[in-house]
Chains A and B, each alone.
Chain A
């Protein structure tokens, strides 16, 4: 090995293959049978359970846990998939600490919720490992629906439509389906090519055609789709990134965190991925955390995350923050970037401390310089390429009800649509609900 964490600049192979493999292994190794039974035993089978309410897809959590406890894991998985066809991915990536597990009454009682996410993985993994697909399509309806975007929203929508007997064509601009499941989620949350495996499993329902490398606005148009299909669902996510608006943003070494992560997710050999010695990540959401943690796991010596507000205002949960600090990421709160310093390539980031008055922020005048050869921007994604026919609202496609846009027969859901948190599980819920609404509309109008 030629490089180490101390090698200057942005270089590959700071760590050996074995360290990398260990660093990027499963964040939570799967529960074994005994662990699952012990964990399941703790569920109280609450009435009108708060965890169900807290789950955007409203999975019947007490029921599936009881099904695990009584040795019928396949039934447990069925209970999950009926509500959330991407229950396998959600079990891995949901911030359960702010969703179901936060609502668990045992969190109130003992500060230790039932391990809902891990139990969900136990159930879904076991059914997905078995052959076949647990759902059967209804009789063909003769209706055709176009789904644009093969992320969680589009996939959930396509599956539910196919289930109801409609024929679905899914278009995606990228070469692979899965959306951010494939290109965004942290590697240690979705190991062993799970995202791709999940897509193939989902497609086993039948009736879904996948057309990759087909971008709306480039290869296809909304008008064309509306002419050819009975309905259109837009699940195009947020593919644009916000600008830093700091001086020197164009210097070498400054990159988008999402792109950095996408490269990482697609890398066959993590050792070939270059990473800085001094990495600074700007932002406070999941993307910032994931970029920071994964830089550290790739072998960066120093990783600092700079967030302009205080800890409580940070969108990433306390659990995510603690995960980052446990991996050696340093947090600087109440600071904003002013200027990328360096001669050609970045060498440092000049920041200024901030003070907040309500929602408005201003600099205090006090500045400091952080050594930085790599600067990753994670300050939010924006909607890009939304068709003109649909009305926007707050930078997203305006929707009412179950994802109805301002254009007839066009629905939208997931990150690109207004309302709801930008989470995988929310995208699934919105895709599914839009599919139900499309189904009702198509059948009602038949």
Chain B
């Protein structure tokens, strides 16, 4: 059993799995049960100023599904905590005292005024919490009031608030970023210049999940009307991974700790975030879909994986970052062809339809439904691999240097060559002559 003990910006937890600030963490009852179930830490549901906000009294969630009604994406129009500040603070203190080994982070969202932060920070500090997370991410309800994503979209505000927080509290400061922005590196850099100890991302993505085609109201519908909500769950993972990687490899934010959030559902998702530079992960939708117990699979899976790889948790963190590059640096001399394992093939023909209709007409189909790759046409786009229902049936095989690519008739070169030096690139850097 690998050691999963985590130390994120000095905050220790028995494992790197924290519950993200959201309904799973909005009261003592939930959090105690989450700790009993084995979660390493929580980011308490975002606190605000009194009087507390109010939520709608109808549906807050919308969803999209995969096959078999598997929940792939969740959208919500919930606000920050709708309970009085004092209640939350009292419960946070009690839980932290009872569970000293678990990470207790308090998420905060108050107006962009120094006095507001100066007021709330000592109250939070008094609970004994291990750190704070600044919610600059909520895309609905709060942003219209000049908070949440409205702050997260303006790097100057982020820097300013982060600085106030560093000034008025001893607690480590994590800035939670909104993905509703063009380039995630700017807010991350601002957090760093403001002195933040870490960033966490992503918060939810502005979205409308569906429209009722009888009432013509977006869902979730409140009395016939709907508004955009925040999207999360497995569907947002690719967006979150990209943003995490962007920050991890940005020279200006190099070394800035990252708490990875967005669609973490299995140990594998978590391992991917960690490999792309996240120091730990936070989970919301998976817990909301399957209950607190899923953390057991996350722990056992990550542990088994680390054991099999023979590496430690720290070794995993950031291990994939050096392999994230920009398109123009990809090796154009790397040549592959799709290969169909005829024994595994169940002859559904999906690869054929995909390639024939929308790709490179590189799969042949015989009368008896045998599907074969035509090497002279295959550009190795991977579409057939992606649409095949049988895992491992279609694979990509690299052509070795010296072989001839039947498509181009050219010999495969062992040398690395990318777009920056390609003859078709008008801006190509000529090799020194």
Enumerate chain A interface residues (CB-CB to B < 8 A). Answer: 33-34, 37, 41-42, 45, 47, 60, 62-63, 66-67, 69-72, 74-75, 78-79
Q: Flag if A70 contacts B294 (CB, 8 Å).
A: no
**Which of B290, B291, B294, B344 has a CB less than 8 Å from the CB of A34?**
B344
CA distance A47 to B304 in the complex (A): 24
Query: Which interface residue of B293, B297, B344, B392 has the most chain A CB atoms within 10 A?
Result: B297
CB distance from B213 to the nearest CB of A (A): 26
CA distance A71 to B300 in the complex (A): 11
Q: Flag if B68 contacts A75 (CB, 8 Å).
A: no
Closest 4 CB pairs of A and B: A75-B300, A70-B266, A72-B301, A66-B297
- Main SS of the interface on chain A? helix
CA distance A72 to B390 in the complex (A): 19
Q: Flag if B68 contacts A42 (CB, 8 Å).
A: yes
CB within 8 Å of A: which of B209-268?
266-268
Q: Flag if B300 contacts A41 (CB, 8 Å).
A: no
B305 is an interface residue with CB less than 8 A from chain A = yes
CA distance A34 to B301 in the complex (A): 19
Q: Flag if A47 contacts B296 (CB, 8 Å).
A: no
Q: A34-B390, A34-B391 are in contact. Are A74 and B304 (CB under 8 A)?
A: yes
CB distance from A393 to the nearest CB of B (A): 39
Set of chain A residues within 8 Å of B293, measured between Cβ atoms: 45, 47, 62-63
Query: Which interface residue of A42, A66, A69 has the most chain B CB atoms within 10 A?
Result: A66
Binary interface encoding of chain B residues 307-351 relative to chain A, with 1 for a CB under 8 A from any of its CBs, else 0? 000000000000000000000000000000000000010000000
Q: Flag if B390 contacts A67 (CB, 8 Å).
A: no
Residue of B nearest to A74 (CB): B304
CB distance from B379 to the nearest CB of A (A): 27
CB distance from A47 to the nearest CB of B (A): 5
Can you give 16 A-B contacts (C-beta < 8 A)? A33-B392, A34-B391, A41-B68, A42-B68, A45-B290, A45-B293, A45-B294, A63-B293, A63-B296, A66-B297, A69-B266, A72-B267, A72-B305, A74-B304, A75-B297, A79-B300
Q: Flag if A72 contacts B304 (CB, 8 Å).
A: yes
CA distance A66 to B305 in the complex (A): 15
Residue of A nearest to B346 (CB): A34
User: For chain B, which range describes its interface: under 10, 10 to 19, 20 to 34, or 35 or more residues?
Assistant: 10 to 19
Beyond A45-B294, A67-B301, list 6 extra A-B contacts (CB 8 Å).
A34-B391, A45-B290, A47-B291, A62-B293, A70-B266, A78-B300
CA distance A75 to B267 in the complex (A): 12
CA distance A72 to B392 in the complex (A): 17
Query: Which interface residue of A62, A69, A74, A75 has the most chain B CB atoms within 10 A?
Result: A75
Q: Flag if B296 contacts A70 (CB, 8 Å).
A: no
Residue of B nearest to A62 (CB): B293
Set of chain A residues within 8 Å of B296, measured between Cβ atoms: 60, 63
Q: Flag if A70 contacts B268 (CB, 8 Å).
A: yes
Q: Flag if A66 contacts B268 (CB, 8 Å).
A: no
Residue of B nearest to A66 (CB): B297
Q: Flag if B300 contacts A67 (CB, 8 Å).
A: yes
Set of chain A residues within 8 Å of B267, measured between Cβ atoms: 70, 72
Set of chain B residues within 8 Å of A47, measured between Cβ atoms: 291, 293
Q: Flag if B294 contacts A66 (CB, 8 Å).
A: yes
Q: Flag if A71 contacts B294 (CB, 8 Å).
A: no
Residue of B nearest to A79 (CB): B300
Query: Which interface residue of A34, A47, A69, A74 has the most chain B CB atoms within 10 A?
Result: A34
Set of chain B residues within 8 Å of A45, measured between Cβ atoms: 290-291, 293-294
Set of chain B residues within 8 Å of A63, measured between Cβ atoms: 293, 296-297
Set of chain A residues within 8 Å of B297, measured between Cβ atoms: 63, 66-67, 70, 72, 75
**Which of B268, B290, B294, B301 has a CB less than 8 Å from the CB of A75?**
B301
Residue of A nearest to B267 (CB): A70
Binary interface encoding of chain B residues 352-388 relative to chain A, with 1 for a CB under 8 A from any of its CBs, else 0? 0000000000000000000000000000000000000
CA distance A78 to B297 in the complex (A): 12
CA distance A70 to B270 in the complex (A): 12
Residue of A nearest to B296 (CB): A63
Residue of B nearest to A63 (CB): B296
Residue of B nearest to A75 (CB): B300
CA distance A146 to B341 in the complex (A): 55
Set of chain A residues within 8 Å of B300, measured between Cβ atoms: 67, 72, 75, 78-79
**Which of A41, A62, A66, A75 has a CB less than 8 Å from the CB of B304?**
A75
Binary interface encoding of chain B residues 24-63 relative to chain A, with 1 for a CB under 8 A from any of its CBs, else 0? 0000000000000000000000000000000000000000
Set of chain A residues within 8 Å of B266, measured between Cβ atoms: 66, 69-70
CA distance A60 to B38 in the complex (A): 16
CA distance A69 to B300 in the complex (A): 13
Q: Flag if A71 contacts B268 (CB, 8 Å).
A: yes
Residue of A nearest to B300 (CB): A75
CA distance A62 to B297 in the complex (A): 10
Query: Which interface residue of B68, B266, B300, B392 has the most chain A CB atoms within 10 A?
Result: B300
CB distance from B201 to the nearest CB of A (A): 24
Set of chain B residues within 8 Å of A75, measured between Cβ atoms: 297, 300-301, 303-304
CA distance A47 to B268 in the complex (A): 22
CA distance A34 to B341 in the complex (A): 14
Set of chain A residues within 8 Å of B392, measured between Cβ atoms: 33-34
CA distance A79 to B290 in the complex (A): 18
CB distance from A138 to the nearest CB of B (A): 16
CA distance A47 to B37 in the complex (A): 13
Set of chain B residues within 8 Å of A42, measured between Cβ atoms: 68
Residue of B nearest to A37 (CB): B391
CA distance A46 to B265 in the complex (A): 16
CB distance from B373 to the nearest CB of A (A): 20
Set of chain A residues within 8 Å of B303, measured between Cβ atoms: 75
Residue of A nearest to B69 (CB): A44
Residue of A nearest to B307 (CB): A74
Q: Flag if A70 contacts B301 (CB, 8 Å).
A: yes
CA distance A79 to B304 in the complex (A): 13
CA distance A45 to B294 in the complex (A): 9
CA distance A78 to B303 in the complex (A): 13
CA distance A79 to B303 in the complex (A): 14
CB distance from B123 to the nearest CB of A (A): 36
CB distance from B311 to the nearest CB of A (A): 16
CB distance from B48 to the nearest CB of A (A): 31
Set of chain A residues within 8 Å of B290, measured between Cβ atoms: 45
Set of chain B residues within 8 Å of A79, measured between Cβ atoms: 300
CB distance from A255 to the nearest CB of B (A): 46
CB distance from B301 to the nearest CB of A (A): 5
Set of chain B residues within 8 Å of A78, measured between Cβ atoms: 300
